[in-house]
């Protein structure tokens, strides 16, 4: 979208509270237990080490963990984009999950852009993913407010969200069909 102060109000910022650029991963201890540490060097150089622990018992294959955590680091290793855009005359077309790019006006990024940030997909751009949309009715006027988050972020706390239904290390909620233990009576089940 092209910023026009007669049509939009834009507030952009960032929050480094959930930043995690080093992830200590523990896989399923019932099958082939493995632990591995993943990190994002560019983020560590810029922000220092911020560690996260992910005990994710649904995975028993290291290659799956590699893909999962590398994708997770593309989001968590950098401060979360925050802010909101207000469409002063309403906009019924804005949807949760869309990525908005802001151009024009006096909009600018205040913090330094880091190499590798968000997998370098948005280099030189001001972007945010819409995480909530609110329509405010004031007489015959409608304002639409879209709350923003990072382009890769789909939930507020990704690590907590991933393990939310995992009661313990002995329960496996999902598995690969090529896993050696599929079909054995070890408590594996599909939910």
Q: What does the pLDDT look like over 22-53, one tens digit per residue?
A: 999 988 777 767 899 999 999 999 999 999 99
What is the pTM assigned to this prediction?
0.74
Question: What does the domain layout of the chain look like in residue ranges?
Answer: 1-16+81-154, 18-78+165-191
pLDDT surpasses 50 at 191: no
Q: How far apart are CA 89 and CA 41, in angstroms?
A: 44
How many Cβ atoms sit within 10 Å of the Cβ of residue 46?
19
Q: Residues 77, 40: contact at Cβ < 8 Å? A: yes
Q: Which residues pair with 157 in a beta bridge?
A: none
Q: Which residue has the tokens 């593309």?
A: 74
pLDDT surpasses 80 at 112: yes
Q: What does the pLDDT look like over 143-152, one tens digit per residue?
A: 999 999 999 8
Q: 83: which 2 tokens?
A: 């802010």
Burial of 167 (0-12, 13-18, 19+ CB in 10 A): exposed
Topology (CATH level 3) of domain 1-16+81-154: Elongation Factor Tu (Ef-tu); domain 3 (2.40.30)
């Amino acid at each position: 979208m092209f910023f026009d102060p007669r049509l939009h109000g834009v507030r952009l910022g960032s929050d480094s509270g959930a930043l995690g650029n080093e992830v200590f991963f523990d896989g399923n201890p019932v099958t082939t237990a493995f632990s591995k540490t993943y990190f994002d060097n560019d983020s560590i150089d810029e922000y220092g080490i911020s560690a996260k622990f992910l005990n994710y018992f649904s995975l028993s294959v290291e290659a799956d963990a590699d893909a999962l955590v590398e994708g997770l680091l593309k989001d968590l290793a950098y401060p979360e984009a925050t802010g909101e855009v207000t469409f002063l005359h309403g906009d019924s077309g804005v949807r949760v999950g869309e990525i908005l790019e802001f151009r024009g006006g006096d909009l600018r990024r205040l913090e330094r852009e880091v190499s590798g940030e968000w997998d370098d997909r948005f280099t030189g751009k001001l972007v945010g993913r819409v995480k909530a949309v609110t329509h405010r009715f004031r007489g015959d006027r409608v304002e639409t407010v879209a709350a923003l988050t990072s382009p890769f972020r789909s939930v507020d706390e990704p690590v907590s969200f991933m393990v939310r239904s995992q009661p313990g290390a002995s329960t496996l909620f999902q598995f690969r069909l090529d896993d050696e233990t599929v079909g054995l009576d070890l408590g594996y089940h599909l939910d």
